[in-house]
Amino acid sequence: MLDGARAAVADVVGVRAEEVTFCPSGTTAAHLAVLGSLTARRRVGASYVVSAVEHSCVLAAARRHADDGGQVTTIGVNRTGAVDPEEYAAALRADTALASLQSANHEVGTVQPVDEVGAACRELGVPIHVDAAQSVGRTPLPDTWDLLSASARKWGGPTGVGMLVVRRGVRWRSPWPEDEHEFGRMPGPVPLPLVLAAAAALEARAREQEREATRLSGLVDLIRAELPRRIPDVEVLGDPVRRLPHLVAFSCLYVAGEALQTALDRAGFSVSSGSSCSSSALTPSHVLEAMGVLTHGNVRVSLHGGVADEDVARFLEVLPPIVEDLRRTVGAQGL
């Protein structure tokens, strides 16, 4: 059953079954991808190149590498949240052990130029790790990558399953003690029922990927167009074209993000505010700070398969009066 689940996941991703490792989470998979590569290539050098808008788990691995004496080069992004491929390529060196670039941003949906950056990495023999948590099962994956990490709950599977893919021939060594499980890449047995559920969910998502991407992308286009028309002083974030089909983020001036999140929850809409990496702390988003956009009053909407056109229409109806009421309250307090 485990072999069958591995083969099913590998078929969707387009890799060999033996290249797939199941992990307890997407975070674990990302940590293993980064630290395992840096461990295996320490003779090449200690330079690690990463974008400023990676998920916090990737940036945490970068900090660990720096704490251990490694060198980390962070590449900034433009106002839409995308890296410049030329700037990224210029940061690669002969002693670069690894490069990381997400397939698409988890907060604003901008798709990154992974293939362009990957081509530059290939020229120098630098492996590239792609955090594809937001893309697997939703959009076609980039072609040029060496290591990939993802989370099953992002494609509709259960919490407690992550996926690490290490291409054949890529130098990688577990930063942990090895054992006989998962080809020596992940210690301990995997939770088989969760893995089976994750594989089934990914197969189901893959069957409807193109149709759902087209439908949800149309709804996101509607939200992106209507928000500035209906609400003054609102900024819709991310690239309007090179973006994920299901995610849209915006910032409202003069409104606290957590207050807007609470008001929308009362109206029946579950949205996020603050950093998607640490939303429980409601801390300013490192992604929005790197983009140089408004971090106050930020809301992130992620559309799932059950969202209907009527849900989006109602969201666009209830949001303007909620924002107006919150702004009136702030004004009444003299702020």
Is residue 139 within 8 A of residue 213, CB to CB? The reply is: yes
Residue holding tokens 């069958």? Answer: 4
Q: Which helix (H) or strand (E) holds 309?
A: helix 309-332
Q: Which residues neighbour 320 within 8 Å (Cβ) at sequence distance 6 or greater?
A: 230, 231
Give me the active site residues, please. 277
Q: What is the C-alpha separation between 146 and 304, in angstroms, rounded?
A: 29
Q: What is the C-alpha separation between 256 and 327, in angstroms, rounded?
A: 9
Question: Measuring CA to CA, which residue among 167, 166, 128, 134 is closest to residue 152?
Answer: 134
Q: Which helix (H) or strand (E) holds 32?
A: helix 26-40
Task: Please list the alpha-helical segments (H only) found in 146-276.
Answer: 192-230, 257-266
The residues facing 98 across adjacent strands are 48
Q: What is the C-alpha separation between 115 and 100, in angstroms, rounded?
A: 12
Is residue 51 within 8 A of residue 101, CB to CB? The reply is: yes
Residue holding tokens 């089976």? Answer: 196
| Residue 1: Cβ within 10 Å count | 10
